[in-house]
């Protein structure tokens, strides 16, 4: 009798703790969600009125109602393009090498520790590195190329780690099956490991890019300008060789810089512009994340093993 009562008590206590933990979890979640929703609603309230076609096709201006984000969104876009062009091949290759080729020794361990640490380095440090290396030593100036390379360095650890995680999730039996059929290591990677881990790699790449697009500190450090009323030259030209790379050397501004610039203006009207631009930036980030989820879903569907 006494034992049963004691047991009942223990069970009741455990159940109470269970409910308590759920309540705590929900409260934490609600707190985070409510903060975000409140900020977001406030931002929509302030900025929604400014969101029209002109806002996207006008350059910045001293008159708030005439100012737009053309230079900023184009700048952010081309910088992301350069970032992806450098970070993806480098990061994915490094991930494949570390996971499939690298011998397990101290050197590899050292590299692994460093990559994991690099993922946690504050972004301003990358900005300072880029200022010394790309801007001054290589003389690339405060250009689209410099910004793209800087942000590529910043997200490289994220891409490498994501690639390795994705490759690790491919079952070992698949590799052995490929070897059994006489495949070389590269054939095995190329035909099996890479396609199967692609969803995970792409997710990592896009999460890295959506971090990079909101970064302000490193691009301010390398000297991105605040006012610019022209776009980088077109990458395609009508005369030989049809492609030109002038746009890489072009000065630029980016969304976070434009937003910061507007919030620090004395005129009240610029605050609405800042909110609207922040909305656009949130939308850009959400879009990129949505793309990651969709890609993962599409590519996973084709996997059947």
The tokens for 205 are: 């790449």
| Position 235 contacts other proteins (CB under 8 A) | no
Residue 290, classified by CB atoms within 10 Å of its CB into exposed (0-12), middle (13-18) or buried (19+), is: exposed
CA–CA dist 183, 72 (Å, integer):
49
Residues linked to residue 243 through DSSP beta bridges, in sequence order = 236
Minimum CB distance to other proteins smaller for 178 or for 219 = 219
Q: How many residues bind other proteins (CB under 8 A)?
A: 40
Residue from the set 172, 245, 301, 304 that interacts with other proteins by CB under 8 A: 245
CA-atom Rg of the chain in angstroms? 25
Residue 247, classified by CB atoms within 10 Å of its CB into exposed (0-12), middle (13-18) or buried (19+), is: buried
| Position 140 contacts other proteins (CB under 8 A) | yes
Q: Is the dihedral of CA 197, 200, 204, 206 positive or negative?
A: positive
Site string (43-82) toward other proteins, x via CB under 8 A: ----------------xxxx--------------------
| Position 305 contacts other proteins (CB under 8 A) | no
Residue 286, classified by CB atoms within 10 Å of its CB into exposed (0-12), middle (13-18) or buried (19+), is: exposed
Minimum CB distance to other proteins smaller for 53 or for 139 = 139
| Position 277 contacts other proteins (CB under 8 A) | no
Minimum CB distance to other proteins smaller for 143 or for 163 = 143
The tokens for 78 are: 């081309």
- Closest CB 30 distance from other proteins, rounded Å: 28
Residue from the set 21, 36, 138, 294 that interacts with other proteins by CB under 8 A: 138
CA–CA dist 51, 199 (Å, integer):
34
| Position 230 contacts other proteins (CB under 8 A) | yes
Contact set with other proteins (CB under 8 A)? 59-62, 86, 90, 133-134, 138-143, 145, 149, 223-230, 237, 241, 244-246, 248-251, 261, 263-268
């Amino acid at each position: 009798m006494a034992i049963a009562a004691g047991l009942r008590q223990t069970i009741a206590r455990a159940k109470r703790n269970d409910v308590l933990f759920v309540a705590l979890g929900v409260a934490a979640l609600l707190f985070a969600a409510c903060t975000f929703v409140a900020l977001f609603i406030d931002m929509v309230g302030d900025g929604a009125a400014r969101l029209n076609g002109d806002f996207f096709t006008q350059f910045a201006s001293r008159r708030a109602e005439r100012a737009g984000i053309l230079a900023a969104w184009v700048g952010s876009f081309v910088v992301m393009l350069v970032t992806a062009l450098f970070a993806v091949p480098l990061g994915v290759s490094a991930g494949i090498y570390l996971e499939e080729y690298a011998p397990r020794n101290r050197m590899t361990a050292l590299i692994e520790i460093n990559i994991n640490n690099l993922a946690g380095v504050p972004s301003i440090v990358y900005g300072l590195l880029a200022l010394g290396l790309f801007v001054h030593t290589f003389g690339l100036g405060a250009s689209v190329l410099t910004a793209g390379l800087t942000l590529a360095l910043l997200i490289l650890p994220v891409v490498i780690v994501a690639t390795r995680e994705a490759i690790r999730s491919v079952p070992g039996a698949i590799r052995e099956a490929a070897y059994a059929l006489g495949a070389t290591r590269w054939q095995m990677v190329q035909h099996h490991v890479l396609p199967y881990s692609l969803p995970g790699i792409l997710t990592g790449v896009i999460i890295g890019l959506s971090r990079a697009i909101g970064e302000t500190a490193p691009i301010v450090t390398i000297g991105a300008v605040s006012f610019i009323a022209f776009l980088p030259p077109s990458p395609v030209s009508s005369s030989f060789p049809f492609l030109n790379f002038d746009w890489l050397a072009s000065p630029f501004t980016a969304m976070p810089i434009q937003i910061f610039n507007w919030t620090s203006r004395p005129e009240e009207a610029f605050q609405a512009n800042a909110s609207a631009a922040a909305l656009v930036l949130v939308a850009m980030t959400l879009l990129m994340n949505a793309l990651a989820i969709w890609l993962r879903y599409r590519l996973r569907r084709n996997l059947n093993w």
